[in-house]
Amino acid sequence: MKPQINPNVSVIGVAIDLGAGTPGVSLGPAAIRYAGLMEKLEKIGYSVRDEGDILADKPATPVQNGCKLKFLDEITRVNTELCNKVSQVMAEGRFPLVLGGDHSIAIGTIAGVAQHKKNLGVIWFDAHGDINTEETSPSGNIHGMPVAVSFGFGNERLTSIGGPNRKLRPDRFVYIGCRDLDMDEKKVLKELGVTVFTMHELDRYGMTEVIGRAIEIASDGTDGIHVSFDLDSLDPLYAPGTGTRVPGGLTYREGNLALEMIALTEKLVSAEFVEVNPIIDNNNMTAKTAVSLIGSLMGEWLI
């Protein structure tokens, strides 16, 4: 039987690549739509409304006023607009499905969802930790910071989006597929007690056991589960069109299985899929993979 998820879906694109080191993911929302997303959702049985794209301008220089964070002003503006849009969609009783864009957009997505789900569990698929701050980031790229921001750490302009309070609890946050963590990230993750299932755990125990445990953590006493899926969590064999490829990632079926199991919980309240870069892709393969993954998360069932 198909899992019961909010039947009314709003697709929100965020055409931004300012948070990333490689340009091109601003074209991700268009690539995912072109790969058949709307048709997929409608075939599953959803009533879908395309909310269009939030657009980003590119300033002449990446760093302003001596701040190390690149394009801080514009990324703050875009995420504030996204936060408001996600909150509006949820106030209307609809499910927000956000398409990136680079992973900095998770700041706005989570801030918007947190307006309605005060105790949110998160399952975060990513090769990286994304928990740097201005002080620890080697690059100043904000797509490496959304987890820190959502925990309440980092630049105040980012942490105050949607309100100054911490958006997420570290003990209800789970990583899947990590294999490239900075030393400072490893330190803070241990200090906060965040659950991290690296590729070692996935190889050793298998996806069924790992995602089962992740669901337990993210749903324990929470108001629902948000899924943030960076396509670089997959092995580049299945997702070549992403800017920070790391060998040895999830297989195509492991990704789909994990999302199918999350769908079965019927606790999913929001989702985002990010870091699809059609400029460096192969025949839109990564966007097509994203559409397949979204179908699995939204309860596409063969029988």
Q: Are 182 and 138 in contact (CB under 8 A)?
A: yes
List active site positions. 103, 126, 128, 130, 143, 230, 232, 275
CB-count exposure of residue 158 (10 Å: 0-12, 13-18, 19+):
buried
Q: Which residue has the tokens 């993954």?
A: 293
Which residues touch 215 (CB under 8 Å, ≥6 apart)?
123, 225, 261, 262, 265
Q: How far apart are CA 78 and CA 107, in angstroms?
A: 10
Q: How far apart are CA 162 and CA 6, in angstroms?
A: 23
Q: Are 44 and 295 in contact (CB under 8 A)?
A: yes
In the chain the first and final C-alpha atoms are separated, in Å, by 7
Q: How far apart are CA 189 and CA 195, in angstroms?
A: 8
Q: How far apart are CA 259 and CA 239, in angstroms?
A: 16
